[in-house]
Amino acid sequence: MSISVDPAWIEAVLLAVVRMTAFVVIAPPFSYNGIPLRVKAMLAVGLGLAVSPAVSHGFHVPSTGGFIVDLVLEALVGAVLGFLVMLVFAAVQSAGSLIDMFGGFQMAQGFDPQAMVNGAQFTRLFQMTAIALLFASDGYQLIIGGLTRSFTALPIGAGLDLSAPVKAMTDAVTQMFVASLQIAGPLVIVLFLADAGLGLLTRVAPALNAFAMGFPLKILITLALGGVVFLALPRVIASLTGHAVGDLMGVG
């Protein structure tokens, strides 16, 4: 019995697995450190095998040096695509950071080794909620679908035109700041007005020591209105998922 092995198919799948691995390591929700590395590796290999019919069609076996160059290029493409998705969902983390800063929670800042996030309560809460919602709402499937369609826009071994991803990153950074302000903006304005009101009260009646009362007041406002922002996160995550898929398709 003889078993035929197609070198073109094997090399095409290996290149696809390299792109998938670089993407999974960087892009949320797959980059979460709570997911074991073995699971991430199995996911990358499985996705590479899933796209094998598309990537192996018309693939020509390069030389050894050319194959090594293609491996580096695919790792770069996967990293760029993963970084774009990470930038989009960084808006949720930035919104939590704004709430922590204006609400006075920044003093309780800590590092979360699972999510690789350095922030206070709302920063970590929003980050964990975003990851949970991506899995609960099947948003991760849309991200995987956008990644698999990237092989049509950026075929295996075709390289990467840096003008497109640089423009996409610039737009993604701008969108991240705008989205974070849209998420946390109303609460930030209320907290700023509370600070301004306490400042005026201190000038009018210095003996009241209004700023001493300001800490529990701001905590109460942050917790009360932060719940409203938290309830809006499912729609925010759905919108950000659509933007992330659009960025994945727009790189090519």
As a whole-number percent, the residues of the chain with pLDDT over 90 amount to 5
The answer, yes or no, to whether residue 20 has pLDDT greater than 70, is yes
Mean pLDDT of 140-164: 78
Q: What pLDDT was estimated at residue 164?
A: 67
When computed from its CA atoms, the radius of gyration of the chain, rounded to whole angstroms, is: 23
Q: Could you write out the DSSP letters of every residue in the chain? A: ------HHHHHHHHHHHHHHHHHHHHSTTTT-TTS-HHHHHHHHHHHHHHTHHHHHTT-----HHHHHHHHHHHHHHHHHHHHHHHHHHHHHHHHHHHHHHHHTGGGG-EEETTTTEEE-HHHHHHHHHHHHHHHHTTHHHHHHHHHHHHHHHS-TT----THHHHHHHHHHHHHHHHHHHHHHHHHHHHHHHHHHHHHHHHHH-GGG-HHHHHHHHHHHHHHHHHHHHHHTHHHHHHHHHHHHHHHHHH--
Residue 236 pLDDT exceeds 80: yes
The amino acid sitting at 57 is H
pLDDT in tens, 73-84: 888 888 888 888
pLDDT digits (tens, 9 = 90+) for 98-147: 888 888 777 767 777 776 777 777 888 888 888 888 888 888 888 888 88
Give one DSSP letter per residue of 82-129, joined into a string: HHHHHHHHHHHHHHHHHHHHHHTGGGG-EEETTTTEEE-HHHHHHHHH
pLDDT of 22 reads: 92
pLDDT score, position 185 = 82
Give the pLDDT of residue 159: 63
pLDDT at 42: 92
Q: pLDDT confidence of 68, banded at 50, 70, 90? A: confident
29-62 residue pLDDT tens: 888 888 888 988 999 999 988 888 888 777 777 7
Confirm whether pTM is higher than 0.85: no
Q: What is the pLDDT of residue 148?
A: 87
Contact 101, 43 (CB under 8 A): no
What confidence score (pLDDT) does residue 252 get? 57
Where do the domains of the chain lie? 7-250
Per-residue pLDDT band for 2 (boundaries 50, 70, 90) equals low
